[in-house]
Structure 1
Amino acid sequence: MTFLENCKILVIDDDPALRQLITLTFVSQGCQVHSAANGSEGLRMFYEQRPGLIILDIMMPEIDGWTVCAQIRQLSNVPIILLTSLGSEQDIIRGLEGGAVDYVVKPFSPKVLVARAKASLRQAYQTPTPPKVTTFSDGYLTIDLVKRRVLVGNEPVKLSATEYRLLAYLVQNANQVLTTEQILENVWGLEYRESSDYVHVYISHLRRKIEADPKQPRYILTEYGIGYYFEK
């Protein structure tokens, strides 16, 4: 059984033909699919159904997908895939920074969408392998990978599942430069080898949360033209 089988999926899109296509695609994978035609209905169904995955359009009447994503993210870490015709770099970055775990541009391949859904669910719900390096502490920043706890100045820091996986991967390979390709494959999966923007966005997220000065980072450093590393 994969993470996709028996998963409850909520599709929020104002295009009825597209909702039907996505529904049939995921029902054939053994999923239970609910759909909504606008943001208001989508939020109501989110509260009622508590899905394990949300596929969300952006350009919709009443409440757009940006707002829906932000409201859901305040309440839940459920993985959200944005599925939209907006394909600019700025839109993709906005979506990822707004809490989506993935961003798929229309027109799309149903097979690719299924692969992205599987990867998103695996990232969100898979039990992690026990880390080799389990702790880091220098008086300002404390990271405990066993307890999944991060403290800055003794104050707990809330990280999303993706942010935590990225930080854990960097810490476990401390002082070693990791290419963006290595980070993508180990944190997101092979399906994301070409999605370098994801790494840059989430590195920025982490710096804002753990660095005293994100513009002059102490812990998560850039090796220009190559990738990033965590400096102990």
Structure 2
Amino acid sequence: MIKHKSLKHLKLFAIALCVEVLFANTLPVQVQAQTRPQASKVSVTFSPPGAGKPDNSAGGASRSSAQCVQDTANGGPLATPLTPANYQALTVAERPTFFVYVPETSARKVFFSLEGENKNSHYQTTIPISGKAGIVSVSLPDSAPALETGKNYKWSFVIMCGNALRPDSPAVEGTIMRSQLNPTLTSQLEKATPLERAALYGNGGIWYDTLATVAELRRLEPNDSSIEATWTQLLTSVGLDAIATKPLL
């Protein structure tokens, strides 16, 4: 009889131990789920600066065909700068990142240049590309001079067909101006998550930093459907729906 009671007590103890272990393993997951920021709860939208008044000199544009002559047209979008058309595109970064959609191409190099208001060269470089269709990014390195606050800059992205620069080389252009953060926004950004920072930049009309922040999240979380949806909605909101679902290269 004593032996049967001992076995019964052992079984009850084993069951209690299993329940305790299961609860201990589940609790951190529940807490993590409660404390992790929900991407779907943070809305990233772009509010154009200047109370929504368009700037005819801003945004992006293309010259020539934006495609190499030897490349076969497939009916898809041509080279496109990821900038809001007809609105001034701002950044608060000293050395921002620029984004351009490049269609499938035989070219293996692109030429990027940035010039100031006096048309003096600020930075230029040649970048290798894979030839696959997708969105290419160009970040100014630490060796490049910082953008000056309140100054306008013009940038060009040229597809080097046949690995050479020619007058008829397909190219896209854009403008950028560095803005100064106000103390309130600076304080909010310091406490924000990456997605919240993107939302703050967007509400402040700071396009380049909004785009770069969401792009970085896409790279870090390539399987997160909510971040992908945020990216798609952001591009669509500024008329870039034709390339909103294209991959980041």
Instruction: Name the TM-score, length of structure 2 as normaliser.
Output: 0.25
Greater relative contact order (Cα < 8 A, sep 6+): 2
Higher gyration radius (CA) = 2
TM-score of the aligned structures, taking structure 1 as reference length: 0.26
Q: Which has the higher helix share?
A: 1
